[in-house]
A and B are shown apart, each in its own frame.
Chain A
Amino acid sequence: MSTKIILIGALSLSSDEFGNSRLKLTLDGYTLEFFAQAFLNNTTQNLKRAFATRPVAAPLALQTPSESPGSPNRAFFMKFPERDPVQNHTEQFHDSEFEDVFDLYNACNGIVRDGFLDVEELNTYTPDEAEELNVPRLREIWEHTRTGCLQCREIVQALHTVRKTTSDVAEYIDPKDGPELDIDQINSIS
């Protein structure tokens, strides 16, 4: 099975930006251009995760665009420019729009075992829950924490401190603001 390389010139495209982007594909002496969204329907989330988890290259199972000649089963591989600075690579574990060490901490409920967040906690989720939490990505982050990353350790400690601090949350929720809303009546906030 042949493969194609689709080069994307930027790493930080939003889904909207990406939806308006055109991809240029050159192979076997011909060039195709098409709107990215035309064949990336329903894969935006995969793409966003790929950006977050595969800094160098992300093979994705994508539909062959109808404009493309050749086999309809042809696979496409998306190759992203490599992030040069090591710092940029590690920063994604500490502060990311997607999953980072904060999410790992929360998914593990702050439980620490042998000096690291207890990765076994990730096994307690149902498949649906694991998908929502992006457990594979959380495992990558956990592997990063095992390198002894000082920043991860500090974030975990800071979250422990925030959670255990004795200052009353009432300073955060002013009772004079009025009656509380019935949270149970809220099905979705999005």
Chain B
Amino acid sequence: MNNREENSADGDIPAIIAEKVFKKWREGKSLIEIAREMNLKIAEVKRILKATQKSQLQEGKVNP
């Protein structure tokens, strides 16, 4: 399976979407800005972002 077709840590979200959301967040974009730029609902961005953040932390890249 192509990596872009895989699901993200959230399970229901295509990895490419999660990656885009996460990248924009790291660029300093707010939830609202990300939602508007990607034409997503705020609740979706919220869910995606949290799942990706927790996945990053659990992978040990940064320990809380």
Q: Which A residues lie at the B interface, using CB under 8 A?
A: 95, 100, 102-103, 106-107, 109, 125, 129, 132-133, 151, 154-155, 157-159, 161-163, 165, 169, 172-174, 177-178, 180-181, 183-184, 186-190
Contact = CB atoms under 8 A, between A and B. Distances in A.
A154 to B, nearest CB: 5
B2 A190 contact: no
Interface in B1-57: 2-4, 12-14, 16-17, 19-20, 22-23, 25-26, 28, 30-32, 38-44, 46, 49-50, 53-54, 56-57
Contacts of B3: 174, 177
Contact of B56 (A106, A129, A157, A162): A162
Interface of A is mostly: helix
Contacts of A161: 62
Interface residues of B, number: 36
B7 to A, nearest CB: 11
A165 B59 CA distance: 15
Interface of B is mostly: helix
A176 B20 CA distance: 16
Contacts of B30: 109
A100 B56 CA distance: 16
B5 to A, nearest CB: 9
Nearest to A105: B53
B23 A133 contact: no
A177 B4 contact: yes
Contacts of B25: 106, 163
Nearest to A155: B64
Contact of A188 (B4, B41, B42, B61): B41
Nearest to B42: A132
Given A162-B57, A186-B38, 20 more contacts: A102-B54, A106-B46, A107-B31, A109-B31, A129-B42, A133-B31, A133-B46, A155-B57, A155-B64, A158-B62, A165-B61, A172-B19, A173-B16, A183-B17, A184-B38, A184-B39, A187-B39, A189-B17, A190-B41, A190-B44
B44 A189 contact: yes
B8 to A, nearest CB: 10
23 contacts: A106-B46, A106-B50, A106-B53, A129-B42, A132-B42, A132-B46, A151-B64, A154-B64, A155-B57, A158-B62, A158-B64, A159-B53, A163-B25, A163-B28, A169-B22, A172-B23, A173-B23, A181-B16, A184-B38, A186-B38, A188-B44, A189-B40, A189-B44
